[in-house]
Amino acid sequence: MSVENALMARSNNQCELCKSENNLTVYDVPPHPEQREEDSILVCEKCNLQLTKKEELDAKHWACLNDSMWSEVPAVQVVSWRMLNRLRNESWAADAIEMMFFDEPTLAWAKETGDHENTGEVELHRDCNGNILQDGDNVVLTKTLDVKGSNLNAKLGTVVKGIKLVADNFEQIEGKIEGQTIVILTKYLRKG
């Protein structure tokens, strides 16, 4: 039986965190990179995006942790504890953390990535107005830019179609202007 099928059976075809039945996927609980039933959980798209820090935390959505934290599955307990810690500024999350109890190996796994020490803030690519940018978006330059190492001058108001986010720098995107792929600072563009 595949890991996904085993998780579907274990979770009754529901997200193991919020009980949603939509767009379910396997989430490998870090730092375990390979899919194994005991190291993975089944999550919905919303939970996955927020777990992987690709979407801002929605504290109301995570109220589901008040139930999932009591799961008998260690991987679900670990993820619940990590998310509660990211939400620890919410009084209900702080209270829930105080109620949780782990055996030593599970607590060590929960602390292993250090994610529990982070705040709930998520760094995302944002345009000059604070709008969230995603791969494939179209943007408009808000400033005329000289492109280093080129005689290209990207003019104010130029539309850049189908951008690509720079993975390790939230202040940069890649886009094509006049056939050349260039890196553009997000503070000089707005979502189109």
* Per-residue pLDDT tens digits for 134-182: 899 999 999 988 877 777 888 899 999 999 989 888 899 999 988 888 8
Q: How far apart are CA 41 and CA 24, in angstroms?
A: 10
**Domain span including residue 151:** 139-191
Confidence of residue 106 (pLDDT cuts 50, 70, 90): very high
Task: Say which amino acid occupies 89.
Answer: N
The whole-number pLDDT of residue 118 equals: 66
* Per-residue pLDDT tens digits for 40-97: 999 999 999 999 888 888 999 999 999 999 999 999 999 999 999 999 999 999 999 9
Q: What is the CATH number of the domain that holds 170?
A: 2.30.30.40
Q: How far apart are CA 83 and CA 93, in angstroms?
A: 9
- Say yes or no: 11 and 43 in one domain: yes
| Number of domains comprising the chain | 2
In a domain, 27, yes or no: yes
Q: How far apart are CA 145 and CA 125, in angstroms?
A: 19
**Averaged over 101-111, what is the pLDDT?**
92
Between the alpha carbon of residue 181 and those of residues 125, 147, 150, 152, 163, the distances in Å are: 18, 10, 11, 11, 10
- Say yes or no: 10 and 75 in one domain: yes
- Collapsing DSSP to helix, strand or coil, 191 comes out as strand
Token pair for 150: 């080129």
pTM, entire model? 0.70
